[in-house]
Amino acid sequence: MSYTNFKIETDADGIALVTWDMPEKSMNVFTQEVMDELDAIIDQTTADAAVKGVVFTSGKSSFSGGADLSMIKSMFTLQAEEKKNDPANAAQKLFNLVGRMTGLFRKLETCGKPWVSAINGTCMGGAFELSLACHGRVASNSKSVKIALPEVKVGIFPGAGGTQRVPRLTNTQDALQMMTTGSSLTAARAKAMGLVHEVVEPEKLIEAAKAMIKNGLKAVQPWDEKGFKLPGGGVWTPASAQLWPAASAILRRETYGNYPGAIAILKCVYEGLQVPFDTGLKIEQRYFTEILQTTEAFSMIRSLFVSMQELGKGARRPAGVPKSEFKKVGVVGAGFMGASIAYVTAAAGIPVTLIDRDMEAAEKGKAHSEGLVKDSVGKGRLTKDEGEALLARITPSADYGDLKDAGLIVEAVFEDRQVKKDVIEKVEAVIAPDAIFASNTSTLPITGLAKNSKRPEQFIGVHFFSPVEKMMLTEVIVGKETGDKALATALDYVAAIKKTPIVVNDTRGFYVNRCVFRYIHEAYDMLIEGVPPAMIENAAKMAGMPVGPLSLNDEVAIDLSQKILKATVADLGEKAVDTKHMALVNRMVDELDRRGRKNGKGFYEYPAKPAKKYLWPGLKELYPQKAADKVDVEVLKQRFLATIALEAARTIEEGIVTDPREADVGSILGFGFAPYTGGTLSYIDGMGTKAFVALCEKLAKGYGDHFKPTPLLKEMAEKGETFYGRFDPYGAAQRAA
């Protein structure tokens, strides 16, 4: 029997090698077809008396990334349709659907013949749950092997037996930590935890897997044998009595109860370990069905799984423009940002010429990459040879003529119009006629900078976030005259360096910084009102933000906030900024010399390590303080999320952001906007535009006109519209764009 996604070869010892190798896919993923074929393979190998056991592996460089986009989407589509057509039975039908994979894996492990999973690369989500259902697991010791159950990161949890098998193979504490964080394991760590039986050299992987079967591997899982005992002891042991209250408290501390999927993991494990295995699977299936119906799961999966992949694959790339091949990229400006951009470019295998005013400055820029490489080699992320090859791709220079054969130039000089003008003119004097010029700017509008260019249609903004090597987002800013080739080239470059792009039309602060400064300015308002600083920071974290706004302002620098406010006044007049905000930052910078982390004092104090930073005690003396019990924390949380979401809505109304996927993904990757909401616009859609408008009107009465809902929001509320409905990213107009 032949299959589309698998091939089977049975050797002389009766061991069937099942190789998963999906045609025209770079990575194997679970689809309905894959599950149907796997079901048939289990039947075929079980019925064939000549087959003594099965080794399951991948024909690709990675094992599998888990579920396919289309399968995930189909679950939500089915759910929406069933709720409309047959609301009484909608949950039951979803329950049956999510049980398909659970039932398939259970069928595999009870088929009566031993199965061994031979893991040769990335093995994530459902793929690892399949491996856990196999009676033996062998992993390659290659660096590329990453084993994880990362579902919690997209709002769900391991729902195909993961919550029941992992804590039956390893101690409960490690099992909970692995699943509630979604963190990756190396092959060695997985073996130490008891999740993998053997770790071998890549070339010996299949041989070792077959040897397990030849050596008498039992075709019965430990939990199906009489007398099975949990490796970490039962739920009612003295050790568990200490573990479970602590686990609940830690999860609450880390997530503030914002992630239903993470809470469900604890429930599945706690309840499932008290019952027989098959009952535990039913408990997991029940919770998975429940979680799939939450707003959080829908929004997180859409933004952090579906939209991120679509944007990463070029959803906004202009059609009909040939794909760019980067034989050389020029980076002008070897300061911290430029040096980091050169590093990520070289790490992607692209040769870079790093230009600065003199060789000393250019060499200093390369030294930054040398430090990053040394750190990566020390941590085992790069081999010594790989590190040396990366550095060899970076050529420091003070000669603009060395850019003549670069197809893309990324300018990353000081944020000053005149400095950038000089660089643009010097670069354009030497580069090829078809080269693209990209300016890395966080505040200066691209259209204005492009006026210094002789070919504005080939001028674009590419805004990186610091630290470049860690931040996954890049804003691609389109000026009024930017052409399709420039946009396509910029998106191809962002894809080459493995970042996620969002396309933004030109405006002051673009998208991310507009939202970030609304967050910071709301904290200014709270300080001025007398809200205790610790409450400001904690309320923001409780709302789901990764860092408090005062801490964030210290990181970006308070004097940068001052500079931006002054520039806004210069360009738009004094009414464009809040005079109280200006007074606050002027006092912090000019009177107190508190500029943020960079000079060791801002809203926080930064003592010498290993001591941790702490809020500056003098902060509470700047304004009369309210009593903490007179401040409503829920309102503080609402203010933070609503002011940012409102700014995102304004950018849509102004045509700055045109695709809701980019607003959502940009807000989460750019500054960590409460990921459980799915992003700024999903936050609004999730509660309903009508409810959001009502919230904004209530906040406007108590805390200022900046909370007033926009005309677009009012119109959408009246019509019962959502952002994803009105600005459908899959509509014909968007596809054409």
Would you please indicate which residues are annotated as catalytic (active-site) residues?
463
As a whole number of angstroms, the distance between CA 540 and CA 638 comes to 9
Q: What b/e sequence results for 428-444 when a residue is b if at least 16 CB atoms lie within 10 Å of its CB, and e otherwise?
A: bebbeeebbbbbbbbeb
Number of neighbouring beta carbons within 10 Å of residue 626? 14
As a whole number of angstroms, the distance between CA 474 and CA 421 comes to 23
Number of neighbouring beta carbons within 10 Å of residue 541? 17
As a whole number of angstroms, the distance between CA 261 and CA 244 comes to 17
Q: How far is CA 21 from the centre of its chain?
A: 27
**Alpha-carbon distances of 126 from 79, 159, 444, 727, 729, rounded to whole Å:** 21, 8, 45, 33, 28
CA dihedral 426, 430, 433, 434 (to 10 degrees): -80
φ, ψ for residue 327 (rounded to 5)? Answer: -85, -20
Residue 651 three-state SS: helix
As a whole number of angstroms, the distance between CA 332 and CA 338 comes to 7
Q: What b/e sequence results for 178-194 when a residue is b if at least 16 CB atoms lie within 10 Å of its CB, and e otherwise?
A: bbbebebbbbebbbebe
How many CA within 13 A on the CB side of residue 714?
A: 6
Q: What's the DSSP call for residue 224?
A: G
As a whole number of angstroms, the distance between CA 528 and CA 588 comes to 13
Amino acid 620 reads K
